Amino acid sequence: MLRLLKRQMTLATVSGIPVRVDHRWILVLILMTAITAASIQSLNQHLFGSIILGLAATCLFFLSIFLHEYAHAVVAKIEGLRVVEIVLHPFGGLARFAHPPETARTEFRVAIAGPAASFALALLFAGFVAVSTYLKTDILTLILFLLSLTNLLVAIFNLLPGYPLDGGRVLRAYLWKQGRDLNEATILTGRCGQVISIGMIVLGLVLALVQGEYFMGLWAVIIGAFLLDSATAIIREVGSEENIRVDSVMMLPVPVSSDLTVQRFIDEVLPMHRRTVFTVAAGDRFMGMLILEDVKAIPSDRWRAMTLQDAMRKHASEHFVRIENSVADARSLIESNGIGTVAVVSDDGRLVGSISAGNLRKHA
Ligand SMILES: [Zn+2]
Q: Which of 211, 241, 271 is the last residue of a domain?
A: 241
Please state, in angstroms and rounded to a whole number, the distance separating the CA atoms of residues 324 and 305: 38
What's the mean per-residue pLDDT of the chain? 85
Q: From the CA of 69, how far away is ligand 1's center (Å)?
A: 6
Q: From the CA of 323, how far away is ligand 1's center (Å)?
A: 36
CA distances from 66 to 76, 93, 160, 216 (A): 15, 8, 19, 21
Scanning the chain, the segments in alpha helix (DSSP H) are 2-6, 25-41, 47-78, 104-134, 138-159, 166-177, 182-205, 214-241, 262-264, 292-296, 308-311, 327-336, 357-363
Q: From the CA of 68, how far away is ligand 1's center (Å)?
A: 6
Q: pLDDT band at residue 149, thresholds of 50, 70 and 90?
A: very high
Q: In this structure, are residues 155 and 304 in contact, taking their beta carbons and an 8 Å threshold?
A: no
Q: In this structure, are residues 320 and 343 in contact, taking their beta carbons and an 8 Å threshold?
A: yes
Of 199, 150, 161, 190, which is closest to residue 39 (Cα–Cα)? 150
Residues 49 and 79 in one domain: yes
Q: In this structure, are residues 215 and 31 in contact, taking their beta carbons and an 8 Å threshold?
A: yes
Q: How many CA atoms lie within 13 A of 173 on its CB side?
A: 20
Q: From the CA of 296, how far away is ligand 1's center (Å)?
A: 34
Q: In this structure, are residues 36 and 59 in contact, taking their beta carbons and an 8 Å threshold?
A: no
Tell me, what's the pLDDT at 1? 47
Q: Is the pLDDT of residue 4 over 60?
A: no
Number of domains composing the chain: 2
Q: Which domain holds residue 281?
A: 246-363
Q: From the CA of 158, how far away is ligand 1's center (Å)?
A: 6
Q: Is the pLDDT of residue 126 over 90?
A: yes
294-336 pLDDT, tens digit each: 888 889 888 888 998 888 988 888 888 888 888 888 888 887 7
Secondary structure class of 251 (helix, strand, coil): strand
Q: Which of 218, 241, 264 is the last residue of a domain?
A: 241
Q: From the CA of 303, how far away is ligand 1's center (Å)?
A: 44
Please state, in angstroms and rounded to a whole number, the distance separating the CA atoms of residues 11 and 1: 21
Q: From the CA of 334, how far away is ligand 1's center (Å)?
A: 23
Residues 54 and 120 in one domain: yes
The neighbour count for residue 22, using CB atoms within 10 Å, is: 16
Tell me, what's the pLDDT at 3? 55
Tell me, what's the pLDDT at 212? 84
Q: pLDDT band at residue 364, thresholds of 50, 70 and 90?
A: very low
Q: Please, which residues have CB less than 5 A from ligand 1, an ion?
A: 92, 114, 158, 166
Residues 201 and 256 in one domain: no
Tell me, what's the pLDDT at 192? 95
DSSP conformational letter for 82: P
150-160 pLDDT, tens digit each: 899 999 999 99
The partner residues of 96 in beta bridges, in order of sequence, read 85
Higher confidence at residue 120 or residue 256? 120
9-60 pLDDT, tens digit each: 787 788 788 888 877 777 778 888 888 888 888 777 688 888 888 899 989 9
328-355 pLDDT, tens digit each: 888 888 877 878 888 898 888 888 888 8
Interior angle at CA 201, CA 198 and CA 207, nearest 5? 140
Q: From the CA of 35, how far away is ligand 1's center (Å)?
A: 24
Q: Is the pLDDT of residue 268 over 70?
A: yes
178-235 pLDDT, tens digit each: 888 778 888 999 999 999 999 999 999 999 999 888 878 888 898 898 889 889 988 8
CA 50 vs. chain centroid, Å, equals 36
Q: From the CA of 112, how far away is ligand 1's center (Å)?
A: 7
* Beta carbons within 8 Å of 39's beta carbon, 6+ residues apart: 142, 146
Secondary structure class of 86 (helix, strand, coil): strand
The partner residues of 92 in beta bridges, in order of sequence, read none
Q: From the CA of 173, how far away is ligand 1's center (Å)?
A: 15
Secondary structure class of 207 (helix, strand, coil): helix
Tell me, what's the pLDDT at 314? 87
Tell me, what's the pLDDT at 348? 83
Q: From the CA of 315, how far away is ligand 1's center (Å)?
A: 36
Q: Is the pLDDT of residue 271 over 70?
A: yes
Q: In this structure, are residues 128 and 134 in contact, taking their beta carbons and an 8 Å threshold?
A: no
Q: In this structure, are residues 107 and 101 in contact, taking their beta carbons and an 8 Å threshold?
A: yes
Residues 266 and 235 in one domain: no
Q: In this structure, are residues 58 and 29 in contact, taking their beta carbons and an 8 Å threshold?
A: yes
Q: pLDDT band at residue 91, thresholds of 50, 70 and 90?
A: low
Q: From the CA of 211, how far away is ligand 1's center (Å)?
A: 30
Residues 90 and 218 in one domain: yes
Q: Which of 207, 224, 241 is the last residue of a domain?
A: 241
Q: What is the CATH number of the domain that holds 324?
A: 3.10.580.10
Q: If you average pLDDT over residues 255-261, what whole number do you get?
A: 86
The partner residues of 86 in beta bridges, in order of sequence, read 19, 95
DSSP conformational letter for 18: E
Residue 321 backbone dihedrals phi, psi, to 5 degrees? -120, 160
Residues 108 and 211 in one domain: yes
Cis status of the peptide bond prior to 164, with omega within 30 of 0: yes
Q: From the CA of 176, how far away is ligand 1's center (Å)?
A: 20
CA distances from 176 to 84, 167, 195 (A): 24, 14, 21
Higher confidence at residue 110 or residue 361? 110
Residues 144 and 259 in one domain: no
Residues 161 and 264 in one domain: no
* Beta carbons within 8 Å of 127's beta carbon, 6+ residues apart: none
Tell me, what's the pLDDT at 8? 72
Q: From the CA of 216, how far away is ligand 1's center (Å)?
A: 21
Q: From the CA of 298, how far away is ligand 1's center (Å)?
A: 38
Q: In this structure, are residues 231 and 164 in contact, taking their beta carbons and an 8 Å threshold?
A: yes
Q: From the CA of 309, how far away is ligand 1's center (Å)?
A: 42
Tell me, what's the pLDDT at 331? 84
**Kind and range of the H or E element at 22?**
strand 17-22
Q: pLDDT band at residue 246, thresholds of 50, 70 and 90?
A: confident
Secondary structure class of 257 (helix, strand, coil): strand
Q: From the CA of 306, how far away is ligand 1's center (Å)?
A: 45
280-290 pLDDT, tens digit each: 988 888 999 99
Residues 234 and 317 in one domain: no
Q: From the CA of 92, how far away is ligand 1's center (Å)?
A: 5
Please state, in angstroms and rounded to a whole number, the distance separating the CA atoms of residues 295 and 314: 14
Residues 12 and 85 in one domain: yes
Residues 106 and 217 in one domain: yes
Q: From the CA of 94, how far away is ligand 1's center (Å)?
A: 6
Residues 216 and 236 in one domain: yes
Please state, in angstroms and rounded to a whole number, the distance separating the CA atoms of residues 160 and 224: 13
